[in-house]
Amino acid sequence: MTAPGLPDGAEVPLVRISNVWKKRGGNIVLKGVNLVAEQGKVMCLLGPSGAGKSTLLRCINAIELADRGMIYVDGVAIGCRQEGDKFIRLSEREVSRQRADIGMVFQSFNLFPHMSVLENIIDAPMRVRGESRAVATQRAHELLERVGLAAKASSYPRHLSGGQQQRIAIARALAMQPKLMLFDEPTSALDPHLTDEVLDVIKGLAASGMTMIVVTHEVQFARELADVAAVMADGVIIEVGPARDVLTRPQDPRTRKFLAKSLQDHA
Amino acid sequence: MSLNLATETQNWPGPDSAAARIIEPPRFGRWLCLVAVAVGLIWIAYQLLTNPGFQWDIVGRYMLDRTVLRGIAMTIQLTFLVMVIGAVIGVLVALMRMSRDPFLNFCAHGFVWFFRGTPVLVQLIFWYNLAALFPQLQLGIPFDGPKFFEISATVAISSFTAALLGLGLNEGAYMAEIIRAGLLSVDAGQTEASKALGHRPWQTFRIVVLPQAMKAIVPPTGNQLIGMLKYTSLASVVALHELMHSVETIYSRTFETMPLLIVAALWYLILVSILSVAQFFIERHYLKGWQAETPVPMQVPLQA
C-alpha cells in the first residue's frame, strides 16, 4: 500500500502527520505540523512545556481533534472518512474503532479506580474486541508478568504505588495488541525513585519492536531509547532526525537551549 | 507480614510494664449533656405513655387498617415510579446539559429552570386540571393539521397520572442537577483513558464514568428518595389515595385526628428507615476500590 502523496515504492510510515493545525481558545497550539514515524521505531517528542507536544500526541488517536490537516495511521485518516480529496468527520462511535488499535499511556495513569487491576486490563479486550474472558485473562496475566506485577491482579489501583500504576496502565494498553503505542510524559507524575521501573518496561517494549511515540522531558531517557528525536517549539517541529544527532549535535539554537536547560535541571 | 507476626507474639504490657500510662481527662461537659438529654427523653416517654390525647388504642387499631395499608401501597408505588421517571429524565437532561451542542444545552437549561422554579404543588394541580386548557388531547400535526390520535383530557389525566407527571417532571429537574454534579466529579482523564482503549461513547459512560459518578450521586439521591416518599403526600390535593389521603379520609369521618396523624407519621418513619438501610448497602457497593486495602487472606491466589 502506498500512502497518498508519497512516491511509489517508498516505505509507508506507520504514522504520517500532514500539515496539522489546531486552535484552542484564541491560541493556535499546532501550526502546520509535519512528521512521520516509521514502523518499529521509537520516536521521542521533546521540547519546552507549552510547545504542543502533548496536544499533537493526543491528536494521533483523536482524543483531541485537529482543526486542519490530517493524521494517517497505517494509511488510514484518523477521525475522518476519506471521499476522494474530501475528509468527512466520523462520529465518536466510528472513531472508537480506530482508537482500539492505538495504545495510549497517560501522565496521570488514568487507571479505572473502581475496577481491580485484572478488570482494568481485560475490560477493553472483552468489550471492544469481543474476546472471551478466558483468553483476555490469560493474556492479562502474561502482561502482568511482563511488567513485573503478577501478584497484583486482584488489587485496586488506589493501593498501588505510582510506578506500579503506570506499569499496569502500560499492560492495559498492550492488552489491546496495538500497532502503535503513544506515551504522554509517562514518568512526569512519578517520584524520581519510581521512574526507573517504568522506564525499564518501556525500554523492554522498544526492544520488542513496538512502534512508539513518546512525549518526554527526560533527555537522558530519550538518548537511551529513541531512534528518532523530534523537537517542538511554539506549535511547530523545529528539528527532527536520528536521536543521537539531534540530542548531541543539535542544529537549531532553540534545541540547544532546551537541551542545555534540561541537563542543568538534572545535574 | 513480619510486622504482623511480631505484634502477635508480643504480650500486651502488664501492670508492672515500663510503658508509660496515659490517663484520659474527665469530661464533665459530656456527663452534663447526658443528664439533660436523659431528662428530656424521660419526659417525652412519660407524655407518650400517660397523655390520653395520643389515644394509643386508636393508633393500634388503625395501624393495619385496610384503607391505611392500601394508602401505603399507593405511596410506595408512586414513590418508586416517580423516582424511575426522575432518574431517566435526570440522566437525559444531565447529558444534554453537559453536551457541547448549544441547542441541547439550552433545552436542558430551560427544562431545569422551569420545573425547578415552580412549586410542585402548583404543578400537580395544573396537571390535574389540564382539561381546563386542553379538553381534548391530540397527537398530530399542530396548527389544525391531521390528527392521528385523540383522547379526552379528563379520561387521560387521572389523579395518578397527574401525580406522576407533576412529581416526576419536578424530580427529573432535581435529579438532572444531582447527576450532572456526579458526572462532573469524575476526572476527565477517565473518559480519555476509556476512549483511548476503544470504548464506544455509551460504553465509556456506562462502564467508566457512571459507576464512579455514582459515589457522588447516591447520597443526595437517597435524600431525594426519602424526600419524595413524603412529598407524595402532596398528591392528596389531587385526591390520590396515598397514605396521607387515606388517613385524612378516616379522621374527617371519625375526628380522631391526632392518633391517625400518628399512624401516618409512624408508617413514614418505618418506610424511611427501610430506605436508609438500603442506601447504606448501595453506598458501600459504589465505594468499591476506594476502601482500605482488603486484608491479605481475602485475596485470591493468582499464580497457579
pLDDT tens-place string over residues B86-105: 999 999 999 999 988 999 99
pLDDT at B81 over 80: yes
Domain residue spans in chain B? Answer: 59-286
- Name the CA radius of gyration of chain A, rounded: 19
Q: What pLDDT, on the 0 to 100 scale, is given for residue B296?
A: 43
- Measured in degrees and rounded to the nearest 5, phi and psi for residue A182 equal -110, 130
The amino acid that residue B10 corresponds to is Q
Q: Which domains are assigned to chain A?
A: 12-101+213-267 (3.40.50.300)
Instruction: Say if residue B300's pLDDT is above 90.
Output: no
Looking at chain B, the whole-number percentage of residues with pLDDT higher than 90 is 70
Q: Which superfamily, per CATH, for B59-286? A: MetI-like (1.10.3720.10)
- What are residue B186's phi and psi, to 5 degrees? -90, 130
Q: What is the pLDDT of residue A263?
A: 76
pLDDT at B291: 74
Give the number of other Cβ atoms within 10 Å of residue A227's Cβ: 16
Sheet-wide strand order for A68-73: A27-37, A15-24, A68-73, A76-77
Other residues' Cβ atoms within 10 Å of the Cβ of residue A39: 14
Longest dimension (CA), chain B: 98
Contact A178, A129 (CB under 8 A): no
- What residue has cell string 476506594? B290
Give me the pLDDT at residue B156, please: 77
Instruction: Report residue B8's pLDDT band, with 50, 70 and 90 as the boundaries.
Output: low
* Tens digits of residue pLDDT in B187-245: 999 999 999 999 999 999 999 999 999 999 999 999 999 999 999 999 999 989 999 99
The closest of A72, A132, A122, A63 to A92, measured between CA atoms, is A63
What's the sign of the alpha-carbon dihedral A167, A172, A174, A175?
Answer: positive
A65 Cβ under 8 Å from any chain B Cβ = no
Question: Which residues from chain A sit within 8 angstroms of residue B208, using beta carbons?
Answer: 112
B207 interface with A at CB cutoff 8 Å: yes
Query: Positive or negative CA dihedral for B188, B192, B193, B197?
Result: positive
Mean pLDDT of all residues in B284-302: 63
Chain B residues in contact with A159 by the CB 8 A cut-off are 293
- Substitution target from A63, A110, A121, A161 for chain B, most B beta carbons within 10 A: A110
pLDDT bracket for residue A10 (50, 70, 90): low
Q: What is the mean pLDDT of residues B296-303?
A: 42
Whether A256 has its CB under 8 Å from any CB of chain B: the answer is no
Share of chain A above pLDDT 70, in %: 95
Mean per-residue pLDDT of chain B: 88
Which residues in chain A have Cβ-Cβ distances shorter than 8 Å to B198? 96-97, 99-101, 124, 128, 176
* B212 in contact with chain A, both atoms CB, cutoff 8 A: yes
Q: Is the pLDDT of residue A199 over 70?
A: yes
What pLDDT, on the 0 to 100 scale, is given for residue A267? Answer: 54
3-state secondary structure of B204: helix
- pLDDT score recorded for residue B301: 43
Rounded to whole angstroms, how far apart are CA atoms A35 and A48? Answer: 18
The residue-averaged pLDDT of B178-188 equals 96
The more confident residue out of B298 and A29 is: A29
B99 at interface of A, judged by CB pairs closer than 8 A? no
Residue B246 is predicted with a pLDDT of: 94
- C-alpha grid cell for residue B41? 427523653
> A116 at the B interface (CB within 8 A)?
yes
Q: Do A114 and B293 touch (CB under 8 A)?
A: no
Rounded to an integer, the average pLDDT of A122-138 is: 97
Tally of CA atoms within 13 A in the half-sphere of B135 that contains its CB: 0
Structure confidence by residue, pLDDT tens digits, A38-60: 999 999 999 988 899 999 999 99
**Do B198 and A99 lie within an 8 Å CB cutoff?**
yes
